Amino acid sequence: MVSNIEQLSADKKLSFVLTTVLSLPVVKFCIVQSIPGLYLYNHYANFIISALILLLMIPVVSIIVSRRKSELLMTLGILTTYLLINFLIYQSNRENILSHLFRIYSMSFVCFSLAISIRDYPQFLKYLHRASYVMISSGMFMLVATSIIGAVGQASTDYNMSLSYYMVVPSITMLLMILENKRPIQILFFVSGLTIIIAMGSRGPILCLITFYLLYIIKYKKLSPRRLPLYYGLSATLIIIGLFRNEIASSFFNLLKKYNIYSRTLHLFLLGQLSAPAGRDEIFRQIGRKISENPIFGIGFLGDLRSHNIVFETILFNGIFFGSILIFILMYFCFESLRFKRNKELSFLILIFFSYAIPDALLNLTVWGKDMFWIFIGFSFVALREKHYCDDQDLSIPDLV
DSSP 297-349: T-S-TTS-S---SHHHHHHHHH-HHHHHHHHHHHHHHHHHHHH--SSHHHHHH
Coil, strand or helix at 118: coil
Residue pair 192/135 in contact by the 8 Å Cβ criterion = no
Residue pair 115/354 in contact by the 8 Å Cβ criterion = no
| pLDDT tens digit sequence for 38-55 | 777 778 888 888 888 888
Residue pair 236/210 in contact by the 8 Å Cβ criterion = no
CB-count burial class (<10 Å; 0-12, 13-18, 19+) for 177: buried
Distances, alpha carbon 225 to alpha carbons 5, 193, 207, 229, 391, in Å: 44, 33, 30, 8, 22
pLDDT of residue 50: 80
DSSP 187-212: HHHHHHHHHHHHHTT-SHHHHHHHHH
The amino acid at 13: K
Helices (H), 148-183: 161-166, 168-180
pLDDT of residue 51: 84
Look over the chain and give the mean of its residue pLDDT values, rounded to a whole number: 81
pLDDT of residue 247: 66
pLDDT of residue 354: 95
Helix (H) / strand (E) containing 354: helix 344-363
More confident residue, 150 or 332: 332
How far apart are alpha carbons 269 and 322 in whole angstroms? 39
Sign of CA pseudo-dihedral 76, 381, 13, 172: positive
Helices (H), 94-149: 94-103, 110-117, 121-143
More confident residue, 174 or 267: 174
Gyration radius (Cα) of the chain, Å: 22
DSSP 219-246: HH----GGGHHHHHHHHHHHHHHHHTHH
DSSP-derived secondary structure letter, 387: -
Buried b (16+ CB within 10 A) or exposed e, 145-174: bbbeeeeebbbbbbbbbbbbbbbbbbbbbb
Estimate to the nearest angstrom the gap between the alpha carbon of 401 and the chain centroid.
22
| pLDDT tens digit sequence for 187-236 | 899 999 998 888 876 778 888 998 998 899 888 876 556 655 655 666 66
Residue 83 pLDDT > 50 = yes
| pLDDT tens digit sequence for 88-106 | 999 999 998 898 888 888 8
Query: pLDDT > 90: what percent of the chain?
Result: 34
Residue pair 75/111 in contact by the 8 Å Cβ criterion = no
Where is average pLDDT lowest: 2-11, 62-71, 391-400?
391-400
pLDDT band at 308; cut points 50, 70, 90: confident
pLDDT band at 357; cut points 50, 70, 90: very high
Distances, alpha carbon 2 to alpha carbons 5, 9, 59, 70, 371, in Å: 8, 11, 17, 19, 30
pLDDT of residue 389: 43
More confident residue, 255 or 134: 134
Backbone angles phi, psi at 321, to 5 degrees: -70, -60
Would you put residue 39 in left (φ > 0), alpha (ψ -120 to 50) or beta? alpha
pLDDT of residue 399: 43
How far apart are alpha carbons 201 and 365 in whole angstroms? 18
pLDDT of residue 189: 94
Mean pLDDT on 320-341: 90
Distances, alpha carbon 216 to alpha carbons 24, 228, 290, in Å: 28, 18, 38
Distances, alpha carbon 318 to alpha carbons 83, 90, 351, in Å: 12, 11, 28
